[in-house]
């Protein structure tokens, strides 16, 4: 039994782009006709190098030092500002931006890869530029020409960073309860005074850029109640005329992890804000980039899990303890069956995560740029379907994977100096932010499955069925027949779940998590089939697919059994 052969992230992403046709699919989209996979791989290799050489060395120090807050100003850990300067100078902020604005116009697939690599090196640091793409997208699509002329350039160059100011003490998952108000100074021009308190604002203040562009959800006096009445405002820290705007950081949180990322409470005290998009349509502007934002969270999680797994593999190959049954000499713990299971489980989970992540990212690119409206709509439905699965399942995998990696270290893993604990602590937050994983499961069930009667899901699973039928024909693979049987069972179960959700949504929501696990498992079965066929010669993905079928597919059956039990007997607690 050998040690787990863990590929580097860049190498594995290249496989997905090259061998699973993601790169080729991109070149069929108008803006990416001139790209080829090799160019994308080159960008990814550059990102890997930058992450490894510039960002990763700041990971531990960021955790140890954390941020400090003094006199209204945040100081980030030593080296963070300098690394950002290098990042900006190398042009990374412009990656996804429109070439007509000086951007590089790269697809979401490429952004996601850069996010994965950067977050894997240092999630806390990555939080600062991590919101750039979203802020750019939001302003680019919804901002007036005046706003775009005034502020977009600084986002393209990375001269300014940005924040998303949604959460308030009384409004977390429930944005309808937002109380921050915006009073018009000039309703015609969309200029208002913004007043209120926001919490958990990542990068609400920092010392990386002179200006910060806050995107703030607020309620205008004429707004209807609930989330439908919210408007979005751009509130710069420093106004165009150089004046300091009344948007202040009032404190930072002392957190379990990502301690180098400043999580700020903010006070807007009649700050000047500029309406982005239509009044009362703030959520729409915010949610327009939600799929991409949530995929970024999933990508971060994969990056963390990769780094944790790499540490565990290195340790397991070096640490010699006890005999392995059947061998004479003491062996590296990587050769002990229990450790082998931990490491192989992580490796396969990681490679599987990328199959899903980059398929979802491609769907977003296709939703934006496919040639026909029908193709765009179909891709959009797939992106919408896969996004909550990516966000919730990949972040959970990363946390549990990092915890498994810690376990490989034994007692050493619990000592902070070893460094693995930081990954466990850092990996705990992606399960919460950008919509908790519970919110993702509700979103998947109610909005992505029930609303269209399972149409988009059915189409996606039909694709997977075709891949499994192809893979089944390969001699070396046995378990896809089981996976197809699971898929058959789900096909019978899904209409009952949809009707339960209509008649008794509470009962259905009690198993929303299991519905998500089922969709995840069935998605993975199709993706592993595709990978196994694509890698028939190399064999590495075939081995991983076999491992997945044997050790992970039973989880899909478990989840489905719970869904079935709830349909049969939909009681919930009184």
Catalytic positions: 434
Q: Which is nearer to a copy of itself, 27 or 572 (CB)?
A: 572
At 430, give phi and psi (nearest 5°): -60, -20
Q: Which is nearer to a copy of itself, 368 or 557 (CB)?
A: 557
Distance from C-alpha of 118 to C-alpha of 421, rounded to nearest angstrom: 19
Q: How far is the CB of 509 from a copy of itself (least distance, A)?
A: 4
* Residues in Cβ contact with 149 at an 8 Å cutoff, skipping those fewer than 6 apart: none
Q: How far is the CB of 502 from a copy of itself (least distance, A)?
A: 11
Q: Which is nearer to a copy of itself, 202 or 292 (CB)?
A: 202
Quickly list DSSP for 450-517. Answer: ITTTTHHHHHHHHHHHHHHHHHHTSTT--THHHHHHHHHHHHHHHHHHHHHHHH-HHHHHTTHHHHHH
Distance from C-alpha of 125 to C-alpha of 529, rounded to nearest angstrom: 36
Under 8 Å between Cβ of 205 and 183 = no
Distance from C-alpha of 56 to C-alpha of 35, rounded to nearest angstrom: 29
Q: Which is nearer to a copy of itself, 122 or 518 (CB)?
A: 518
* Residues in Cβ contact with 476 at an 8 Å cutoff, skipping those fewer than 6 apart: 542, 546
Q: Which is nearer to a copy of itself, 126 or 167 (CB)?
A: 167
Q: Which is nearer to a copy of itself, 187 or 256 (CB)?
A: 256
Q: Which helix (H) or strand (E) holds 157?
A: helix 145-157
Residue with tokens 């460094």: 419
Q: Kindly report the number of other CB atoms within 10 A of residue 167's CB atom.
A: 18
Q: How far is the CB of 574 from a copy of itself (least distance, A)?
A: 6
Q: Which is nearer to a copy of itself, 223 or 331 (CB)?
A: 331
Residue 518 in tokens: 């089922």
- Crossing angle of helices 512-534 and 455-472, rounded to 10°: 40
Under 8 Å between Cβ of 530 and 20 = yes
> Based on C-alpha coordinates, what's the Rg of the chain?
24
Q: Which helix (H) or strand (E) holds 321?
A: strand 320-323
Task: Give just the sign of the alpha carbon dihedral 264, 269, 275, 277.
Answer: positive
Q: How far is the CB of 439 from a copy of itself (least distance, A)?
A: 8
Q: Which is nearer to a copy of itself, 102 or 410 (CB)?
A: 410
As a whole number of Å, the end-to-end CA separation of the chain is: 52
- Crossing angle of helices 512-534 and 337-369, rounded to 10°: 90
Q: How far is the CB of 112 from a copy of itself (least distance, A)?
A: 24
Q: How far is the CB of 462 from a copy of itself (least distance, A)?
A: 26
Q: Which of 133, 131, 106 is closest to 17 using CA atoms? A: 106
Q: How far is the CB of 416 from a copy of itself (least distance, A)?
A: 5
Residues, the chain, total?
Answer: 574
Q: Which of 114, 164, 171 is closest to 296 using CA atoms? A: 114
Q: How far is the CB of 555 from a copy of itself (least distance, A)?
A: 6
């Amino acid at each position: 039994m050998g040690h787990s052969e863990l590929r580097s992230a860049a190498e594995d992403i290249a496989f997905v782009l090259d061998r699973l046709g993601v790169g080729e699919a991109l070149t069929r989209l108008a803006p990416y006709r001139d790209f080829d996979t090799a160019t994308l791989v080159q960008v990814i290799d550059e990102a890997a190098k930058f992450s490894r050489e510039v960002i990763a060395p700041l990971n531990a120090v960021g955790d140890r030092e954390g941020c400090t807050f003094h006199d209204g100003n945040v100081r980030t850990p030593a080296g963070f500002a300098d690394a950002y300067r290098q990042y900006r100078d190398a042009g990374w902020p412009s990656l996804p931006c429109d070439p007509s604005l000086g951007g590089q116009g790269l697809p979401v697939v490429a952004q996601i890869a850069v996010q994965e690599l950067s977050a894997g090196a240092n999630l806390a640091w990555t939080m600062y530029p991590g919101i750039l793409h979203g802020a750019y997208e939001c302003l680019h699509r919804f901002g007036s020409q005046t706003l775009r002329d005034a502020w977009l350039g600084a986002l393209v160059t990375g001269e300014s960073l940005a924040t998303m100011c949604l959460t308030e003490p009384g409004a977390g998952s429930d944005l309808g309860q937002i109380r921050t108000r915006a009073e018009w100074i000039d309703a015609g021009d969309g200029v208002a005074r913004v007043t209120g308190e926001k919490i958990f604002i990542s990068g609400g203040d920092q010392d990386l850029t002179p200006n910060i562009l806050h995107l703030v959800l607020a309620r205008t006096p004429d707004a209807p109640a609930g989330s439908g009445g919210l408007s979005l405002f751009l509130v710069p820290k420093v106004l165009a005329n150089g004046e300091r705007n009344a948007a202040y950081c009032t404190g930072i949180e002392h957190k379990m992890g990502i301690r180098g990322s400043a999580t700020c409470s903010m006070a807007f005290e009649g700050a000047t804000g500029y309406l982005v998009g239509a009044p009362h349509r703030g959520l729409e502007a915010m949610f327009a980039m939600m799929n991409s934002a949530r995929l970024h969270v999933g990508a971060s999680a994969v990056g963390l899990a990769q780094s944790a797994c790499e540490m565990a593999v290195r340790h397991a190959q070096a640490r010699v303890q006890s005999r392995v049954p059947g061998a004479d000499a003491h062996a590296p713990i990587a050769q002990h069956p229990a450790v082998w299971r931990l490491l192989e489980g992580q490796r396969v989970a990681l490679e599987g995560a990328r199959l899903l992540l980059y398929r979802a990212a491609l769907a977003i690119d296709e939703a934006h740029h496919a040639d026909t409206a029908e193709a765009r709509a179909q891709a959009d439905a797939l992106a919408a379907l896969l996004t909550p699965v990516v966000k919730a399942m990949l972040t959970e995998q990363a946390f549990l994977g990092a915890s498994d990696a810690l376990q490989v270290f034994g007692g050493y893993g619990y000592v902070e100096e070893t460094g693995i604990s930081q990954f466990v602590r850092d990996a705990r937050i992606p399960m919460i932010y950008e919509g908790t994983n519970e919110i993702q499961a509700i979103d998947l069930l109610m909005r992505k499955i029930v609303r269209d009667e399972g149409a988009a899901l059915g189409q996606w699973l039909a694709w997977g069925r075709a891949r499994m039928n192809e893979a089944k024909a390969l001699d070396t693979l046995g378990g896809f027949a089981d996976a197809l049987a699971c898929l058959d069972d789900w096909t019978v179960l899904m209409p009952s779940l949809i009707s339960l959700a209509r008649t008794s949504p509470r009962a259905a929501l009690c198993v929303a998590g299991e519905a998500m696990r089922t969709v995840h498992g069935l998605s993975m079965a199709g993706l592993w089939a595709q990978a196994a066929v694509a890698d028939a010669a190399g064999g590495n993905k075939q081995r991983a697919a076999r491992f997945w079928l044997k050790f992970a597919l039973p989880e899909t059956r478990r989840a489905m059994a719970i869904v079935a039990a709830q349909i049969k007997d939909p009681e919930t607690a009184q």
